Structure 1
Amino acid sequence: MSFEDDGSQKPSIQALKTKPLERSFALARLGAGAGAKIVAHSIANIFRGEIDRDQANREFYRRQAQVLADELGKLKGSVMKAGQMLSLYGQYFLPEEAVTVLSSLQDDTPPVDWRIVAPVLQRALGRHRLRELEIDEQPMAAASLGQVHRAYRRKDGLALCIKIQYPGVADAIESDIRTLSRLLIMTRLTPKGLDLTPVFNEVREMLHREVDYESERHFTETFAERLKDDPRFVVPRVLGEYCSDQVLTTTFEHGHSVRQETVQTLPQARRNRLGHAFLELFLTEFFRWGMVQSDPHFGNYRIRVDEQGEDDRIVLLDFGATRIFGRGFVESYGDIVRGALSRDRDLILRGAKAIGLMQESFPRSVLDAFAQMCELIVEPFNAANDPRTPESLRNAKGEYRWGDSDLPMRVGRVAALNALSIHFRVPPREIVFLHRRLAGVFIMLATLRCELSARDTLLCALEESARSSAE
């Protein structure tokens, strides 16, 4: 959950359905309504032509997904977070219309009334500790599993962020996952015959991690320690005396959203430095540490603009989605990247097969198409004189113009034209989260309208990774 305050005041939820039975009943009622709509839609399709039927199906998927998203938003907790995760996994098996609607769960979340979360804070910290704080009852950010309140420590005025977990969300995870999996089948949003057990197993594991505030505290402190000597980054300090298994308190770290005018109007050189720092951080996390903060939501990153000069800094927030990647996975993924940079398709496929992205049984055309897609994805890291990079995406110095690039759409076309989705249904879970962050890196650099060549940065990260593996 990000600590971004967008200034909006959404109506707060006055009551939470926290008991498994009442949550299951709410979802079951939704499923029953969906069943009746499916019957009506199927009958109407009999009388439609092929084109009208396709349009009707698209609209049907959109409506079904919208109803599902609306209900999940009201329930909060793990079932809503699971819906968010489905929008991430769903790009591989859900209708495009459903993915678009479910993605809205990422950002449009009403807060919960203070009287619901206040008892959680009181039980966690006790009255003595609470008297040390002055807390704003209006949350500055709200998400599916908890919300953040601004606070001040009375003795010295230290500004704080207090993240409070919604009551009952941890206990409802197992029931929510079972109910949601049945609901997806009832709404007919998933293809027939597709086994979603691995997807829901991963969602379940992810949910248990995200309600583990002690783990999030550990990762926050770990990132702070590893980046303490890097002046480009700011990580909030954890105040352990105001933490528990349901409460996480850190210092409040000010900054601007990357989309705000203050950041967007910075000189090109300063935006380039910010973009380079953001990219280098991701490469360091993955190739050196094997520890990646995998949620690329813009609210998790703030820009602290240096009013006196050029020492702008990136404030890093929310480490609840941090994932650990095994050395073997990192090495094999590195083979894919090295192969893509050098146009060595055997190396690309060796790495892809090692981590389960490709299989020996796939047709040669599919393997070649996958290798072609990988070679296209590394376009921003091509040499400055590489003729495969469109001239319009290079400035006079040969630097890549991230803000003008249509690379994601071109990659999508390659995948669609070669029917990769037929063989590439639901990828290994590590890939889903890694590519989630990787996409976030591209979007960040595009939003900053960076113009920079990152080839040497990537090659350096790959070399360091190889040295680490050899030691």
Structure 2
Amino acid sequence: MASRDEGGRKKSSIVTLKTKPFERSLALTRLGVGAGAKIMAHSLTNIFRGEISRDSANRDFYERQAQILADELGRLKGSVMKAGQMLSLYGQYFLPEEAVIVLSQLQDDTPPVAWKVVQPVLERNLGKTRLRELDIDTEAMAAASLGQVHRARRKSDGLELCVKIQYPGVADAIESDINTLSRLLIMTRLTPKGLNLGPVFNEVREMLYREVDYKSEADFTRRFAQRLAGDDRFVVPQVIDDYSTPQVLTTTYEANVSVRSPQVQKLGLARRNRLGEAFFELFCNEFFRWGMVQSDPHFGNYRFRIGERAEDDRIVLLDFGATRLFPRPFVSAYSDIVEGALRHDRAQVVRGAKAIGLMNEKMPDAALDAFVAMCEAIVEPFEPADSERADAKLRNANGAYRWGDSDLPMRMGRVAATNALSVHFRVPPREIVFLHRRLAGVFIMLATLRCELDAREPLLAALHDAHDGRAKSTAE
């Protein structure tokens, strides 16, 4: 099965990869010099996110610059492309809006590389004798920034497999790629002058090393499978150790379709709600009860298997390379923020925010009030249906929240952009960035399923367990 775009068209393969640090650095440096010169000639001053006065010409210019950057990152693949994805998350706090939008499109929707590029990796890791046990489709079924996946079949018993192969030179190029990309952002003048990006790139570096560790990903795959073994709403692939190494990860193939497929979208409301409930409960378990969160909400990682009856519908969970562990004190403090927002308890929200480093003692009351107001707005879907804060236009006749009709993420994005202009603002702790990425993914999934759900009780139950201490954190 070839890697294809959203329209089903086969993507052309990349025949060669720049794998040596010098040639990768040279390609990005040339890009940065050219972009920097163009930006200087353009002589803009209002380039930062949140400035309403930017005209359409300015927006078009920065979108073109960001697109050039994204295209080159996509061709280079590897850690520099993954770093571009990470920057689309952090960048919402300091990059021009146009750059964030374009970089966010790097989310693993890329052409595969030719078989001759990845075949040597497979042969070195598994050996030719072991490889002869498999029939492998030489056209990738999916391609990402750090590797690509090929369908395979074990000859001895016909078991259908997925073989994930890491691109050559990815791990070795991480340090060089990070250093070059940090210089590139300065050269393209896309970041505010004086902003210290050191902590951001340290987190990106750590995430990259985590995601090229296929042994760790295999371990998290097993741990999720164990956690969900008794829940037939979910499917987690089985890791096949005989064909897995630090650079190759082989699992069982699990049939699935996208949430956007007609097969899912044509389901009745009750079945879509059932899937949405399971998806929301999964997040509550991961964060509040387990402290182990798959932090990449890309739709390619959450697929569906539709059965004859609602009871046969399944959510297929894929790719656990971005799994993060959250320590129990962080989970407890964050639970304070959520519970405080639900109860409209300012003191509890502030206490939780200070405990995880979102706020500090030096912040004036006005800044704290703005943060509390934002938190209370974010929990809109979980307000009681009869609350004066509940928007009747977003509730059905039974009081359930209509996720598909809500523009809450956009409203909160505007609020966050305004708050980012405050002199008291700083880039949030890394745990918050990745947790909120997954939270946004939950909202988008429920909206795409067009769910009409009252998720207040499942959330309250998860908060209770988080505070009660009965739930054992995986991170401990």
Work out whether the TM-score is over 0.5: yes
TM-score range, shorter chain: over 0.9
1:338 aligns with 2:324: no
> Is the counterpart of residue 292 in structure 1 residue 278 in structure 2?
no
Aligned-pair CA distance for 1:469: 6.5
Cα deviation for residue 405 of structure 1 reads 1.0
Residue aligning to 2:266? 265
1:215 paired residue number: 216
2 CA distance for matches of 1:40 and 1:350? 48
Q: Tell me which stretches of 4 or more aligned residues in structure 1 moved more than 6 Å.
A: 2-6, 50-53
Percent of aligned pairs sharing the same letter:
73
Deviation at 1:414, TM superposition (A): 3.4
Question: Shift of residue 4 of structure 1?
Answer: 10
Task: Supply the RMSD in Å over aligned alpha carbons.
Answer: 2.2
Cα distance in 2, alignment partners of residues 222 and 273 from structure 1? 24
Q: Distance in 2 between matches of 1:159 and 1:182?
A: 44
Alignment correspondent of 1:410: 411
Aligned position for 2:167? 166
* 351-360 vs 114-123, which moves further: 351-360
Matched letter for residue 333 of structure 1: Y
What amino acid is the match of 2:33? A
**How much does 1:410 deviate?**
2.4
Query: Contact 2:420/2:426 (CA < 8 Å) preserved in 1?
Result: no
Distance 1:375 1:83 in 2: 31
Query: SS state of the match for residue 109, structure 1?
Result: coil
**Does structure 1 retain, via aligned residues, the 8 Å contact 2:108–2:143?**
no
Distance in structure 2 (CA, Å) of the matches to 1:446 and 1:44: 37
Tell me the equivalent position of 1:361: 362
TM-superposition CA deviations, 1:229-264 (whole Å, max 9, x none): 101100000000000110000000011111111111
Higher alpha-carbon deviation: 204-213 or 59-68: 59-68
**Alpha carbons 2:289, 2:471 under 8 Å: kept:** no
Distance 2:423 2:405 in 1: 31
Map residues 417-432 of structure 1 onto 2, 5 A cutoff.
417=418, 422-432=423-433
Task: Give the counterpart letter for 2:354 in structure 1.
Answer: K
> 1:192 is matched by which residue type in structure 2?
K
CA distance in 1, matches of 2:53, 2:292: 49
- Structure 1 residues 331 and 14: CA distance shift in structure 2, 3 A: same
What is the Cα deviation at residue 70 of structure 1? 1.0
C-alpha distance in 2, partners of 1:51/1:240?
54
Match of 1:226 in 2: 227
* 8 Å contact from structure 2 (residues 271, 310) kept in 1: no
Taking the aligned partners of 2:308 and 2:338, their CA distance within structure 1 comes to 38
Distance in 2 between residues matched to 1:79 and 1:43, nearest whole Å = 27
Matches within 5 A, 1:70-469: 70-417=71-418, 422-468=423-469
Q: Is the 8 A contact 2:233 2:315 kept in 1?
A: yes
Structure 1: segments with no counterpart, 5+ residues: none
- Tell me the distance in 2 between the aligned counterparts of 1:51 and 1:454: 35
Contact persistence 2:4–2:10 (CA under 8 A): no
Which TM-score applies when normalising by structure 2?
A: 0.94
| Gap change, CA 1:195 and 1:441, over 3 Å in 2 | same
Q: Distance in 2 between matches of 1:415 and 1:395?
A: 28
Bigger CA drift: 419-428 or 284-293?
419-428
Q: What SS is found at the alignment partner of 1:106?
A: coil
Deviations, residues 110-165 of structure 1 (Å, cap 9, x unaligned): 11000000000011111111111000000000011000000111111111000000
Per the TM alignment, residue 291 of structure 1 is displaced from its structure 2 partner at its CA by 0.3
Counterparts of 1:350 and 1:162 in 2: how far apart (Å)? 46
CA contact (8 A) 1:124 1:247 kept: yes
Any unmatched runs of 5+ in structure 2? none
1:177, 1:310 → 2: CA distance? 47
Question: What are the superposed Cα offsets for residues 411-470 of structure 1, whole Å, 9 maximum, x if unpaired?
Answer: 234334555654333110000000000000000011111111111101111111122279
In structure 1, give the amino acid aligned to 2:391: P
For residues 4 and 151 of structure 1, the distance between their equivalents in structure 2, rounded to whole angstroms, comes to 21
C-alpha change, 1:198 and 1:417, in structure 2 (3 Å) is closer
Contact 2:108/2:145 (<8 A) preserved: no
Q: Which amino acid aligns with 2:145?
A: S
Structure 1 residue 33 displacement after superposition: 1.3
Deviations 1:270-320 (A, max 9, x none): 111100000000000001110000000011111111114533110000000
Amino acid at match of 1:35: G
Q: Secondary structure at the match of 2:28?
A: helix
